Structure 1
């Protein structure tokens, strides 16, 4: 069974005592992706759910759109290589990863890279959720974060409905955790209607763009957002909710997806 952690002997110091113990730490693993025989990228990740990671990463990079674009995929964990065959030609990396300033939805927001401008999309879902459901989902999300609880060294990302968590992934890289979600969705041909993403890390512009590429209109995080992420969320029609902790949360964008009718409002 995939684990993603290793044991390490250490000395634990607490107040005036020192104790020799064995601890569990997150495993860090380099994975190089080869596409049609050419090296495309190397990422550092947790060595679990690697197929989902590769599929999701290729989708967010605009290399594939669905499983139909993949002729084959194989992972060699012994050597740290993923071999992908696809019928689509590889992009020119010099252009693909070039910083590119452009508009978003006719407005003046900046994408960092050309491939983000090509693959980000405005989310059209009319999904709504109650604040108490947001709190419940975050509690369920954190309760299921077993790898984080054991190591304190990974990020978590999940897809949920109003009723509960449907799938959850962990990785040392916050972007990798989201890519695993996306890869799972593509691999299993999941519909994104009425879905919400729950995330353990900061809502950055890169995180927001990955959510937009998945086509999901609501993102819940226990952490803070950045200003560029919120600008993109406004333009891409995504509800960004941060600091979801207990009964508290901050709704930053597109509050129409959060059912506020039963709440008291103050000026």
Structure 2
């Protein structure tokens, strides 16, 4: 049974007065940023900084990617109230050993200060990815779709975008102040849709795209979602590279127009280079 969710979306931008390089006044849009304190069964867990586009999916995805909740059926409801900046999660049977499992926290390099609980880092080696192969032309299709995507970044800047694709077909595009929030929101949406990467055809795999760099946190979260191919407009960190190699995850970075670098998992790409 799926959880009950509120629909407490909030405005993504706010207009402010600025002066340009000539000292002339202008009115421009900037991204909104809100604090959202997450309570699980009345226990305060964490405060997330977010745009607030899909806060309920964000909360579900956060619990999923922290491995605090193993199945969406374990959650009875998610209630977001922007008047008090809180998200209240009610589970059906509680979370076993929640104090112990959330005691050790690692602050990551995510924009807006991402964090993961220490035990999660210890479980990386147990992750197993499904078979997945992405054609080079499909990769170019992903980059073209992103190029044409309307976004808060284009109008206001200062946010990260993430998207989920099936092959070159975009399923969902999400923006937030931190890329870790955007990927958690996608994870929550996948849960609500019952979307499982193992069900996808190997030659039309689920592919995760992000505008941000590929850190260890992003690689681990992608793997936990069962997504074996990750594409970024930016580069990659050393720890992200090590974890991706360990998991056999394909990472593609510096991807813009028809240029890219494959850092790991080249066997998951079906190379179709065009003549120079």
**TM norm structure 2:** 0.84
Q: Given the alignment, which residue of 65, 71, 78 partners 1:60? A: 65
* Equivalence for 1:165: 170
* Deviation per residue, 1:74-126 (Å, 9 max, x gap): 110111000111123254445535269xxxxxxxxxx9821232377534322
* Deviation per residue, 1:4-29 (Å, 9 max, x gap): 1111011112xxx3321110001110
* 1:216 equivalenced with 2:227 (yes/no): yes
* Equivalence for 1:103: none
Maintained 8 Å contact 1:72/1:85: yes
Maintained 8 Å contact 1:161/1:195: yes
* 1:144 equivalenced with 2:156 (yes/no): no
Quick check: 119-128 or 197-206, which moved more? 119-128
Structure 2 gaps of 5+ residues are 1-8, 107-115
Q: In structure 2, the residue corresponding to 1:149 is in which secondary structure? A: helix
* Deviation per residue, 1:123-154 (Å, 9 max, x gap): 43222112232122122113214111011111
Alpha-carbon distance, 1:258 to partner: 0.6
Q: Given the alignment, which residue of 3, 19, 36 partners 2:11? A: 3
Maintained 8 Å contact 1:121/1:213: no
Quick check: 209-218 or 160-169, which moved more? 160-169
Change (3 A) 1:142 1:37: same
How many aligned positions are there?
A: 252
C-alpha distance in structure 1 between counterparts of 2:63 and 2:105, whole Å: 19
Structure 1 gaps of 5+ residues are 101-110
C-alpha distance in structure 1 between counterparts of 2:40 and 2:263, whole Å: 39
* Equivalence for 1:187: 192
Q: Given the alignment, which residue of 126, 131, 143 partners 2:131? A: 126
> Where does 1:45-124 land on structure 2 (aligned, <5 Å)?
45-86=50-91, 87-89=93-95, 91-93=97-99, 95-98=101-104, 113-118=118-123, 121-124=126-129
Q: In structure 2, the residue corresponding to 1:190 is in which secondary structure? A: coil
Change (3 A) 1:112 1:84: closer
